[in-house]
Structure 1
Amino acid sequence: MKTLSWNDPIVRDELRRLKRLKPFCYGLTNYIAANLSANVLLAVGAGPAIGAALDWQRAFSSHAHAVWINAACLMSNSPAEVAEAAIGARGAGVPWVLDPVAVGAGAVEYDTAIRHLLDHKPTAIRGNASELVALAGGEGGAQGVETTLGAEQALPVIQQEALKYQTVIAVSGPIDYITDGHNTLSVEGGDARLTQVTGAGCSLGALSAAFLAGSANPLYSVAAAHAVYAEAAQRAGGAKGTGSFAVQFLDQLSLLDPDEPSA
């Protein structure tokens, strides 16, 4: 298994490509995570639009560079609206990311609606270990939006599911794993306080979508998004508390320069 980090040329190349493209990224996410998701995208040079307003989910999903759907958007959007965004992206050949937030936490109707989105062939799926195991039909044991499983425990499951759905699946943890079923990459680093910032995981879905825009290799693009996220979090590690950490994380993300000398 190959480990990627900020100092790998492929990660720098992926960020350089993103900054050159300045992709328009359309997302359906929950109102708790929307602000941070938008700011994460702006920090790397992408342009976000979030929410379902009249025909946005149909019009924007079909001509964006990338789309992400955070399942908790169902707090504000109907299953039909969410499916319309997925259908629009798939029909137009736009890469899209599914983040199955809180799947497996005991809300059966909610879980069913999210599993139906798999029919629309997400380019990538990202989540924590409990969510991804539950999405595959296993016992994830989630407590609300929190995982009770380690990322390594989900690895065999996500490898199998990536092959089944012909997609890239990423599981977050102290070490992130990203797989297309044939090849698996790992990303280390970051900061534990990402788990204490509301919407940090959700925003990684948005960033993954941005990296998938115009991608020739979705596996490496999603892994590069994770490596960039981890690097920014690590550089923000000097912050004293979670509030200042969140601000410094965005600052560091905006300051990452793909042409800076490697460490």
Structure 2
Amino acid sequence: MPDHDRPAGAGRAALRADCGNCFALCCVALTLTRSADFAVDKAAGTPCRNLRDDFRCGIHTRLRTEGFSGCTVYDCFGAGQKVSQETFGGRDWRGAPETARQMFDVFPVVRQLHELLWYLTEAATLAPARPLHGEIRRTLEATERLTRLEADALADLDVAAHRGEVAALLARGSELVRATAPGRRKRNHRGGDLIGARLRGADLRGADLRGAYLIAADLSGADLRLADLIGADFRDADLSGADLTGALFLTQAQLNAARGSGATRLPPSLERPAHWAK
């Protein structure tokens, strides 16, 4: 099996949300804006009205029908349990209210760092990017060290600057991998407006779709192997029958935001969303 087809491995285990060891930080720390994704407005630092005393969601099984589909596609990449159990040593914001403000400030920072760890962990497995593996691993280790800083240091961290450095490295790795795609007539749609685009059956192998707006796009039957999908917006996109095996930097959250079918082919490290058609 080629390296780029393998699961990222055990290194990603800590980058998956473990809500049982988190103090519902995503339900409190973040701002919600009333929209098709959220039924209410909620200020950052204010608990969601659906949050129970045990830090569980009172409508978890009904989020989509109750108008909170945005909650079903959010992914903290394991930052919630890191901040709850490591940064703040298991002290929750209810029992230790003096920690609340800083905890809520730190959570989005660690979440960004964990997202970068997810991408870097994948990049370190991509065979065509082997010339960069040493640099990728050093950057991964440096990013992991940042996640373990004390709360004060995390709150002051220039995460945007670090994210920019990592993004440049990932882009270099992406180019090496996408260069192996057949045909080499690569489509550059980075940041492109493809909302509602008709791409049924399109050959998008090796395409650059970083940050592309693919909201409600028809990608049924499309070939997205080796396409760079980092940050692509797949909300309500139709991925029925699409081939996403070997797609670069795809996340579970992106799949959860899309529509798909039993015929959609996925990387082995990701799961078929429960709401997809069979």
Q: Provide the TM-score with structure 1 as the length reference.
A: 0.28
Which is richer in strand? 1
**Bigger relative contact order, structure 1 or 2 (CA pairs below 8 A, ≥6 apart):** 1
Which is richer in helix? 1
